[in-house]
Structure 1
Amino acid sequence: MATGQAGHALLLGADDSLAELLSDVLAEVGISLHVGEERSARPDLVLVQVERGEGILNALQLARDGTYPAPVFILLPFADDRLMQRALRLGARGCFALGQPLEGLRQMLLAALPASGRAATPSAPRRRTPPPGRYDE
């Protein structure tokens, strides 16, 4: 349904069925999903599925080692505030519990993409104004 390409996401640690589901869901908003080592383009976002809390730090390190400065989002199998807070403290940009409506994931990811217009404020072109009293016209 999207008219243009919003961005590229890399998915790590997920099985094929989750990869297919996320690929379809994200394609609707213009985010293409690459899975695992399929790194055809520099990702704008990285999604990492983590099964247990002990894996969060390793997952974040793995994602950062190969993905440039792309923001990392942790996908948890269920809602657990303690694990979500831990992921955020360790440096994840966001955390999403699978089983919740996927619209929340879409919105979280779109907000992190400069192309969506929501996160573009810091990199938006700056308006130049001439110094007071110096008009060349």
Structure 2
Amino acid sequence: MTRIPRFHLAIPVDDLAAATRFYGDVLACERGRSSDLWIDWNLRGHQLVTHLAPAAPRAANPVDGHDVPVPHFGLLLTVPEFHALAERLRTADTAFVIEPYLRFAGRPGEQWTMFLTDPAGNALEFKAFAEDADVFATSV
């Protein structure tokens, strides 16, 4: 049996209740094990752990005329999943760092992308490629 690769990511949060509302309610992640200092989340099959800790300083790099937050993490979705999540985030009055938009239209690597932050300021990117094979395309 081939195992699908999964990632584990631990991030700092300054309020576990706010993290619970965001990851549990807004992003609809299933809650796993927890303590008074951390919570495991099932982020579409990946283990995301929110640890009660001070946040690290943030920076940004210019990409396509946008200030892309660094560091950031996120997921690759299908195009329908991307648009459904964007609507879910809008319904929850989520403030986007970069509104959902289409990059590289009609070219290799065509993708929808959006950036937002969780309540602790951790930056997340969600994107969807028109063609899965273009995820690692080298020419755009």
Give the TM-score, by structure 2 length.
0.29
Larger Rg: 1
